[in-house]
Every structure is written in C-alpha cells, then in structure tokens.
Structure 1
C-alpha cells in the first residue's frame, strides 16, 4: 500500500484509470442509444470521469475512507481486514459521488427521460454498485496492488 503522498498519487492514478475505464464503458453500454455514441462522447466521458474520480479519490473519499477504517474497532494488524474495510469504504463513497457525476453527464447528454432526479440517481447508483463492488474487490484491487508493489514500490528498494 502507498507509504507517502507520491505513492498515493501513483496508486490513485492507476486505480482510477482501471475503474473509470471499465465503469465508463459499462455506463455507456447501459444507454439505449448506442448507435448515437461518438468517439468524442466516449473520450469526453472517460477523461472527465477520470479527473473527477482522481480528485474524489485523493481529496475526499480516500481520506474519509482511511479515517473510517482506522476508527472502526477491529484488529488493524490484520492487513486483509484493513484492505477489505478500506476498499469497501472507497467503493461506497466513490459509487455515491460518481453516480452523481453520471447523473449530471446523463442529464447534459440526453436529459432524464421523464424520470425524477431521485429515481434516476437511485437507478444509476444501484447499477454502478452492482458492478463496482466485485470489480474493485476481485479484479482491479488485486491487479492494481500487484502492479503497484511490483513496479512502483520495488523501484524504491532497488
């Protein structure tokens, strides 16, 4: 795991790139008007999503998840529990905020299609959580931790 601000930034960039790429693709595929998508729309969504996700990760959700994790009453020497608690906190926080971002992008792109704001947000949140939770815990989290410890932290030792 990251030991300083530089490593936190690198870890956050790698994680956000992976999660935003998959989640943006998923959300674009959930749209019913796939044939209307342009390369510009896709790139705009991914780049904007990456910037928003990285800011949230580094300055809002990340610090809050860390505080919450280390305030909860469990054995912090158990690294697996720490990673699971931190990851779960991050997933919930990021899905909460990135679903708001998705709602805004959807509204700007084609409106809410007659749905209420809360209904549209609830639908987006649930769909995002259903993919983000297993994606983060089972796929991206382990892959990013492996890449990070193998290529980033190894450089410090060498």
Structure 2
C-alpha cells in the first residue's frame, strides 16, 4: 500500500523563476525585479513577508545580509562583521547577545590569535594562539592550556 506523504505544486513566471509553491505547509509566494532577483518571499510560518533589496553591483542589502563597498559581508541575520585594511575578518559579534570573537593577524595575514569575549567584558573568555614556520604553515596552536603541534613531512 502506498501513502502520499506530501504534494507540492509550483508556479513559474515567463522566464522560469518560481513564483509560488503550495505544499502541506501552505502557499509560498516569491516576487522578482526586472533583473530576476528575488525581491519578496512569503510563507505561512513567517509573521511578515520578507523583502529583499540590492545595491548597484547586485549585492543583497536587505533581507538577511549586508555587504560593504569592498564586497565584504558586514551583517547577516545573526552576526555583524568587521575587517582590517587587508580584508581579514577581525571581529564577529553575535547580535542577540553582544558576545564577540576577535581575530588577530600577523604581517603576512596569517591568523595568530582568536579571542572570545562576553558582551561588555574586556577580558577574554577563551584565547587561542597560532604559530607558523618559515613556509607559512601552521606549526602550533595553544588553546585552553593545551598545545597542539603540527609536523609536516
């Protein structure tokens, strides 16, 4: 005996973008701009429809993520991000709590330290440090009082 688990019906516009999906959860609808970029989405489980906007180079600026002029992610639904002048991620902050992770790099842009902070506390909760050999390979990690060494043959 076979039993139907789920049934889905899809709708598409003239250029093939999915405009609707109806399944056991209910109807979902999707809207697009003239460049075929997603601009809206609705779902029965969402309180409000989602709206999406884009900058001049096509990066999504609303609806979950934001990028800067350097095309770097600066925020998403959960975190904010900061970068140094070399493009290295230097801080990631959890928006819900304010807890953050700080990343430090050497002159060769190699990760040398990772520190986690509770919101508003200048003393790190954890610190991990990294060392490299002359070829730029990671040879040591020190975290939580434990040292791991890496050997390359």
TM-score over 0.5 for the alignment? no
TM-score by length of 2: 0.20
Higher relative contact order, chain-length normalized (CA < 8 Å, sep 6+): 1
**Higher Rg of the two aligned structures:** 2
